[in-house]
Amino acid sequence: MEIGKVPENVLKRAIFRQIHTKRREVLVGAGVGEDCAAVQLAPDEVFVLSTDPITGSTKDTGRLAVQITANDLASAGAEPVGILLTVLLPPSADEPLIRELMQEVESACEELHIQAMGGHTEITAAVNQPLLSVTGVGKVKKNCLVTTGGARPGDDVVVSKWIGVEGTSIIAKEKEEELLKRFPRSLVEEAKGFDRYLSVVPEAALAVKSGVSAMHDVTEGGIYGALWELAEASGVGLEIDLKAIPIRQETVEICEYYRLNPYQLISSGCMLMTSADGHQLVRVLKKAGIPATLIGRCVEGKAKKIINGEDEAYLERPKTDELYKIYESH
């Protein structure tokens, strides 16, 4: 396709016709010539915004883009309402690719009841693969807003599901042929399917009702990065039991093969939460069918300890995510 804005006829066929999910709050949505979306909120509701690009995956990019943004909104206690998409495509892109991308986006939007309200689609030589940047719009009652910086000394630290599920799924899809030479097909297929765990919207909603003090979606930088960020934002120290951090065997196997640290691997699908009663929070989540584990507690001071039996180590500042190493090795 020619460099520049996507032609209007392609825009209508490949973009707008794929958008079916609607929200009553959205007064103005996606349309030719519309530069803005409009959302109406009640007087006691807070408007919550989030933005993220998808750069570490070439598979299921549309679904992943929507899911990650919804997770960010959920970590603030917000109900996701809509998204704005910026889609940058290389000159090699064609209309079927754009349509497939938007169908992925709409499929995720339908599952989460989110409206694609608008955005921008462009062909540019500045990228060599599709690049999506998503701005999410959510709403939350004023008294239910949760921040990353709300943890207090004495709070328990809880995580949902397992660490590394997003990174494991991406690696399994990107390196499927190579992994099949080393592992049984059943393991690789299960790892690829970890993307079914990526939503943290359900556990966030339950956590808000249970009175969590802080939430943080475990994304780039893994659980170690998320723990550091939560502690820094809240001004607390940490005592974390390394052996308590939940991890799937598929993640262990794939990380060992690529010599990756799973504790620094992108982990969307795992929500980090703090609560005055972590045991009760774990019970609430498990009752709803969501795996959850108490992994430590917040303490006075700045020390962020990782305890492994009799050994102790201290968290360091977040490093580059381990995911990017798979493009440098093997």
Query: What is the sign, positive or negative, of the torsion defined by CA atoms of 47, 101, 191, 229?
Result: negative
Cα–Cα dist 69/199, whole Å: 10
Element holding 271 (H helix, E strand) = strand 271-275
**What's the 3-state SS for 46-103?**
EEEEEEEEECCCCCCHHHHHHHHHHHHHHHCCCEEEEEEEEEEECCCCCHHHHHHHHH
pLDDT of residue 142: 83
pLDDT of residue 56: 61
pLDDT of residue 223: 97
pLDDT of residue 34: 60
Closest CA to 227 of 249, 245, 204: 245
Closest CA to 249 of 163, 180, 142, 182: 163
Q: Do 65 and 107 form a contact (C-beta atoms < 8 A)?
A: no
Cα–Cα dist 274/169, whole Å: 27
pLDDT of residue 57: 64
pLDDT of residue 309: 93
Query: Beta strands of 206-270 (E only): which ranges?
Result: 214-217, 237-241
pTM: 0.85
Cα–Cα dist 204/111, whole Å: 16
pLDDT of residue 28: 78
Consecutive sets of 10 residues in the chain, 330 residues long: mean pLDDT of each?
79 88 85 70 85 75 91 92 94 93 94 93 92 92 89 98 96 95 97 95 95 93 95 96 98 97 96 97 98 98 95 91 79
The torsion region of residue 302 among left (phi > 0), alpha (psi -120 to 50) and beta comes to alpha
Cross-strand partners of 86: 120, 133
Q: Do 164 and 316 form a contact (C-beta atoms < 8 A)?
A: no
Question: Domains plus CATH for the chain?
Answer: 4-144 (3.30.1330.10), 148-327 (3.90.650.10)
